[in-house]
Structure 1
Amino acid sequence: MSTRTIGLNEQLYSYLLSVSLREPEILQRLRQETASHPSGNMQISPEQGQFMRLLVQLIGAKKTLEVGVFTGYSSLSVALALPADGKIIACDVSEEYTAIARLYWQEAGVVDKIDLRLAPALVTLDQLLATGQANTFDFAFIDADKVNYDGYYERALQLIRPGGLIAIDNVLWSGTVANPEIQDESTQAIRILNQKLRDDERVTLSLLPIGDGLTLALKRY
């Protein structure tokens, strides 16, 4: 028993992966390719991808939203867990990064499940709301520029149905959120959202120390 979450050193983290990770070979290859990318640290961890697949299956998600695609590991993880008629609307601004994602989506046979929108995500989310798609999504994953996290969250909350789930990445931000000496714009934006979520009665909340910190917000009404 433990009264607090334990830390993971390299040995324990390796053990965790060895006894729990069920990573499809195509996801493993994408993760390895992305690891050599200059911005490879933007990729989620494999155990987080697996956890998200479990969440999608648990809530029976069919229509999902992703804000921030990068090379496609998270969207591919979710797409593999969706039923044949499932759909992801994926928001990103980089043709370069998402070109890698498209290759793996195609190879995995899930390209028809993913509707990639190359535009500022706030614009795409506002368009979805304007076309009557509020309360129609089952799941949303937010993992993009941190200064707009609050805007992404508020729009995702409108788009998600009651009982739907929003997952927000990087909420521990490598521990910098707990260091008052660090006051850059991104860190402050995450702190503000974390504090807001703590008191937001529209959702049921849990912040998990998986990856770089993952907040789960279940829409109550």
Structure 2
Amino acid sequence: MSPDQLIPSAPDPRSWEYADEFVALSPEVSAAREAALAGEWSPVGTGTAALLTLLTRAINAHTVVEIGTDAGVTGLSLLQGMDRKGVLTSIDAESDRQAAARVAFESAGMRSNQFRLIAGMPLDVLPKLRDGAYDLVLVNGDRLEYVEYVSQALRLLRHGGMVVVNDALAENRIADPDNEDDETLIIRETLDSIEETEEFMPVLLPVGSGLLLAIKE
């Protein structure tokens, strides 16, 4: 058998679609996603939402920060993996996204003490949050500020906590060496900074538009 025959073939588009849709969205997250699409936003897809729920459940997350509210889709996905005593802090400068998130959370039966929505520029808000107090930080805001967000996440996370960077493959632009637009360059710099940080143990997953996960050791 040749070496090439030992290497499994990469999934084709049908397999990727099958994997992405394998876990159905809860009715609540599905409704939030439909509302976001109706508002002409671009919420995360089914596979990403399902993985966020699994991650908060897997690490027993009680305190979570999300940067970029995503009209409630990511926040609700995170909350559904947390226990009822957990608290999500969601930061976004756009009040309409936060208003949509509040509707999504309340429609899903989340209590007001399970989430706090902070309207403001993330780089103004994040330094005010407590060091080492969070189990998970989701980076999903302004792509041009990703490097700074990850730097703040390292400070905010407890040891054993996790940073999750959404859009880490930038819709296939990261793997294109000829693509040097601003967002692509910044996301590449973000990935490099995580890989080079000794405190992080990372993995890059081709879920949605790419998710980079890193545990703070």
TM-score (norm 2): 0.91
8 A contact 1:80–1:110 mirrored in 2: no
Flag structure 1 segments of 5+ consecutive residues without an equivalent.
Answer: none
After TM superposition, the structure 1 = structure 2 runs for residues 131-150 of structure 1, keeping only pairs within 5 Å, are: 133-150=130-147
C-alpha separation in 2, matches of 1:118 and 1:209: 31
Aligned residue for 1:152, secondary structure, equals helix
Map residues 178-189 of structure 1 onto 2, 5 A cutoff. Answer: 178-189=175-186
Q: Secondary structure in 2 aligned to 1:91?
A: strand
Distance in 2 of aligned mates of 1:2 and 1:45: 32
Supply the RMSD in Å over aligned alpha carbons: 1.8
1:6 corresponding residue in structure 2:
10
Is residue 162 of structure 2 the alignment partner of residue 165 of structure 1? Answer: yes
Q: 3-state DSSP class of the match of 1:22?
A: coil
Per the alignment, residue 197 of structure 1 pairs with 194
Matched, 1:56 2:60: no
User: In the alignment, is the contact (CA less than 8 A) between 1:70 and 1:94 conserved in 2?
Assistant: no
Match of 2:174, SS state, is: helix
Deviation at 1:22, TM superposition (A): 3.5
For the 8 Å contact 1:102–1:111, the answer to whether it is kept is no
Where does residue 34 of structure 2 map in the other structure?
32
1:103-146 CA-partner distances (Å, limit 9, x unpaired): 11111121421111100001111111xxxx11110011000111
Change (3 A) 1:103 1:8: farther
Shift in CA distance, 177/93, structure 1 to aligned 2, threshold 3 Å: same
Aligned match of 2:121:
120
| TM-score normalised by the chain length of structure 1 | 0.89
Please report how far the alpha carbon of residue 8 of structure 1 lies from its aligned counterpart in structure 2 after TM superposition: 4.2
CA drift of 1:2 comes to 7.3
Decide whether aligned partners of structure 1 residues 5 and 74 sit closer, same or farther in structure 2, where only a CA change above 3 A counts. farther
Q: How much does 1:7 deviate?
A: 3.5
Percent identity, aligned pairs only, is: 23
